[in-house]
Amino acid sequence: MPNEPIIDLSHLVAEPEDQYHAKAAQFLSSHQLLDFMRCPYLHAKKRAGQIADKESPAYLTGRAAHCRILEGRDTYKSRFALGGPINPATGKPYGSATKKFAQWRAEQGKPVLTQDQADLIEKMATGVALSDAAIDLLLYGRAESVVRARYCDVPCQIRIDWTHPQRGIVDLKTCDDLTWFEADARRYRYHHQMAFYRAVLAQAVGQDVPVHIVAVEKKEPFRCGVWRVSDDTLAIARQENEAAIERLKIARQADRWPTGYEEIRLLDVA
């Protein structure tokens, strides 16, 4: 491994998450591109504000876990309210369905995590801390950095979970079962997401960098695994991304957004 950094961290912008998402109408992101690859019509409806992304409890827990693991306990506690008011009769927090908890939630002014959610996040953080490979990647670098650049003649933006100056892009994923993570990666097209990140970052730093994924389970035993995404996989995904961006440009020009199911298909299960 080279001693000299391959990424100049000065190219990375520190920007609050809400500011980043507020610029979604101006810049193409990996999630927007993946929506288009799945269904152009879905992509168009989201861009038009006809479909709102709702923050489910699982998504909130994942977002909070990213903050706790990548940005540290102090930042995590400053951005999220944890636990809830204590019931003096039991010495434990009130349940999330109680009036006391609802009142407390309304007073916080920031996202709220129940005690169960907070406990789960601490267990995931411990799982990551027990992985030498994960700690090696996350020991030095910068969390939640933004890069904007023109890619395929389209303004694009990325928000990288962690950027290591020698080891490149590090993306943190939470999963149900590490045994099936590689299948999940194919299903959710993580390789396309990572290829997009690498390509946009290359516009800023002038070269392709390594890409790693750290995955941790959301249940016992909270195993943590690390994968390096192969250059061949990234190259193929990049070609597919760039072909999709060209289709996106045509769709924008024509204002035509097919579902992908306009024609009769043959169902043959024999």
pLDDT surpasses 70 at 4 = no
Residue owning tokens 């039991």? 90
- Structure-token match 């799982």, residue found: 127
To the nearest whole number, what is the mean pLDDT of the chain?
Answer: 94
CB 139 within 8 A of CB 188: no
Using the Cα atoms of residue 239, residue 52, residue 173 and residue 9 in order, give the sign of their dihedral.
Answer: positive
Q: Is the dihedral of CA 35, 28, 12, 53 positive or negative?
A: negative
Give dist(CA 18, CA 11) in Å, integer: 20
pTM here is: 0.92
Strand-strand pairing, 112-114 and 142-151? unpaired
E strand or H helix at 222: none
Q: Which fold has domain 10-48+130-254?
A: Lambda Exonuclease; Chain A (3.90.320)
193-228 pLDDT, tens digit each? 999 999 999 999 999 999 999 999 999 999 999 999
Please tell me the predicted confidence (pLDDT) of residue 125: 98
pLDDT digits (tens, 9 = 90+) for 101-156: 999 999 999 999 999 999 999 999 999 999 999 999 999 999 999 999 999 999 99
Phi, psi at residue 222, to the nearest 5°?
55, 45
DSSP one-letter string for 181-202: HHHHHHHTTHHHHHHHHHHHHH
d(CA 162, CA 170): 5
> Residue for token digits 């760039």?
242
Structure confidence by residue, pLDDT tens digits, 25-52: 999 999 999 999 999 999 999 999 899 8
pLDDT over 70, % of the chain: 98
Residue 1: pLDDT above 80?
Answer: no
Which one is predicted more confidently, 63 or 8?
63
For the chain, what are the domain ranges?
Answer: 10-48+130-254, 55-116
